[in-house]
Copies of this chain bind each other. A is one copy, B any other.
Amino acid sequence: MSFDLQRYLKARKALIDRELDRLLPPQNRYPEKIHQAVRYSIFAGGKRLRPILLLAGYQTFKDDFRRCLPFACALEMLHTYSLIHDDLPAMDDDDFRRGSPTSHKVFGESIAILAGDALQAEAFALLATAGFESGFPAKTVLKVIADLAQASGLSGMITGQALDMETQGKKYTEKDLEFIHRHKTSALIRASIVMGARLAGAREKQIQALSGFGERVGLAFQVADDILDLKGGKAFGKPRGSDKRKRKATYTDLFGLKKAEQRSRELVAEALKFIEDFSDRARPLREIAKFLIERTY
């Protein structure tokens, strides 16, 4: 059966963009600046990978994936908040992302901080309210909220980002790097897939398999990002070698390009192994996993 991944991604992205537009307050709402800032970063050209993974996780078990769109959008809000804060002068100090000026360059630092803060709150507000309106069991929705909150806080993204900042310009170990990748990037990607499967009522054993899949895919994604930073490329939207100039902890810095390419292939193979018993319904997940390393060629 043929499967056109690019077409699939494009169609999903269009659905998610439309839903985000529907869910976010208009940019002329008083006070205007913060509402503009929130929309600016949400619609700054993201690939919508995490919401797409949530939908693909759901579709591995059930068809009516549109029910999950608000949950998927909450993930994108949370991811966008993390990008806005990552780009701040006190953090990575990036002036551009995906080729456009970053939030603090356009709206100033205080509004950028607040836009990030708002998007985190709105993500949880959306999960809690969608929990009512979508008809999913309240207990399942609570678990999904816990999944996202734990992937974002001290057990996830934040500690990864904190160690990323601390190791910048300093000596770091393989253990540090592994911690950064696992928490900064992999936790949220893993949560995306798990949340989708949970909403579809997947059994615990299936959720565990997808959790393992998601973790490896998340790690592969970050190694691929390190490779892309070194190799550059138009799609990347950031100047080539920006991590290197900041002396960030990266897989390519610690082990070199060749080993990084090998590692990303290994991780994807490990990921696929976790879901080898799944039916063809998991095809989008499999294709996305393979695509993550193809994009580095």
Give A contacts to B, CB under 8 Å. 25, 30-31, 33-35, 38, 81-82, 85, 88, 90-91, 108-111, 113-114, 116-118, 120-122, 124-125, 127-129, 131-132, 137-139, 141-143, 145-146, 148-150, 152-159, 161-163, 165-166, 179
Q: Which 5 A-B pairs have the closest CB atoms?
A: A121-B153, A125-B149, A138-B138, A90-B109, A34-B162
A-B contact pairs, 12 of them (CB 8 A): A33-B166, A34-B158, A34-B163, A90-B108, A91-B113, A110-B165, A111-B162, A113-B113, A118-B153, A122-B154, A128-B146, A145-B145
A90 touching B118, Cβ below 8 Å:
no
A158 touching B31, Cβ below 8 Å:
no
Chain A interface mostly = helix
A90 touching B110, Cβ below 8 Å:
yes
**CA–CA, A142 and B158, complex, Å:** 24
A-B contacts besides A118-B158, A121-B157, 9 pairs, CB < 8 Å: A113-B113, A117-B158, A118-B159, A120-B120, A125-B155, A127-B145, A128-B149, A137-B138, A138-B141
